[in-house]
Chain A
């Protein structure tokens, strides 16, 4: 088990955004996290990635208790993530974005840089990553904010991969992607898992979730209401109720 949460709870004022959630993610698998809007998916991964701290419950990652650790330390432990709505460093170059993603892995070179002959960080790894996520190397010098939205999403994935994480959390990576791009994302995810990565995927694109995930967890009103294989989830009456039972559900 790479990641485990037990009784994870987070409240905002009177609202319990995440309510006693138990989660278990096996190494080298992809876990899908789905649920209606406001179900607590993003809050849950904010807890796992250290952006928020849980009120109750525990998180274990690779055998260690990480419940109280700040985000930057979790990044060093091997948890990388992307953000809903993309948070690339817009005013910096595409290459610098990926190099910043490698922050925990790169040797501090601030003193070495004082020598006038010392060049910038070797960009080879970063460029290879850009290529892997489907961005042209030629765009490495462009400002990240200039890229089309879909490319910014890909850049964000490259930045997350630059730290060589063990767990990659993708928060709605396919939003705004066309079917071809979404398909490319699916094959990228598959090849990453083959390479040893574990993925948590939050996504509304049901086809992507069912096609890419080994297991799916469904949240509703902060609670876990289902947990199983994609086929089981599709048949689950409770899930159908949550998604289709009410008038306003999409």
Chain B
């Protein structure tokens, strides 16, 4: 017991970061599940982080309300963006959402209220571990249950075949937009939690590398169920800690592990649990990620 508490105390920050990573991974999982490859979630995370931190600082907004406002702000921005970019598909969609991320980053760099390049410092550390893990539990539960609903089936159908989906009466654009906006909401919420965990934020926290990192969590973890992105986030957030003794060689080993997973478990770490079904899916050439 004593050692367990000790462990938690030592690694409290790492455990918190893992939880936030898992939330972000779930946010992008949602669009991937609907067959859309988007890379805007780091920017949505940034919107949530800045909006919640600024509301707390300038208007003394209570923490829960600030978090909610940050998440809603991200979702509100996602609506017109989604309407515009969902004319595109596949890698073109990914690039368009990436461009949006760059726009957000540049705006954050140029606006006085966001502290420009210096970012915001001295954000009160209001995020507790249980905030993060309660959020994660709620989001994971909701997404898991949604999978078996009419909406979840519609998303899965979109991933498989958009044209055939439309002929089944599925409003393709609406369902795509819904997955994107809900994903932005989750990412914005995670951003708020993360801002109040780390004392300071700056625009580079929400740039290209973050966007790719979030995608890696989800894809390497696996898309078949909500466990995938969580596992991916845990493994790839914890890995740098575990590999710390390797010092200078750490990044090399991390890269090798990533490569190994992609080569041997291309549909994600969690497909390890159901190898037979995964093989079948591969054999019949079912839709992959996007």
Contacts from A to B (Cβ < 8 Å)? 49-51, 70-73, 75-76, 80-81, 83, 87-92, 96, 99-101, 103-104, 106-110, 112-114, 116, 118, 120-121, 143, 145-146, 159, 163
Contact = CB atoms under 8 A, between A and B. Distances in A.
A113 B146 contact: yes
Given A72-B166, A89-B164, A91-B284, 4 more contacts: A92-B156, A100-B156, A106-B150, A143-B284
Contacts of B167: 49-51, 71-72, 75, 80-81, 83
Interface of chain B: mostly helix, strand, loop or mixed: helix
A80 B152 CA distance: 21
B152 A90 contact: no
Interface of B: 142, 145-146, 148-154, 156-157, 159-161, 163-172, 277, 280-281, 284-287
Given A76-B169, A100-B170, A103-B168, A108 B281 contact: no
The interface centre, meaning the residue of B149, B159, B161 with most chain A CB atoms within 10 A of its CB, is B149
Given A108-B150, A159-B168, A92 B145 contact: no
Contact of A145 (B153, B163, B284): B284
Given A91-B287, A92-B156, A143-B286, A72 B151 contact: no
Contacts of A114: 142, 145
Contacts of A116: 145
B154 to A, nearest CB: 6
Contacts of B280: 143, 145-146
B87 to A, nearest CB: 14
Contacts of A107: 150
Contact of B169 (A51, A113, A163): A163
A72 B157 CA distance: 13
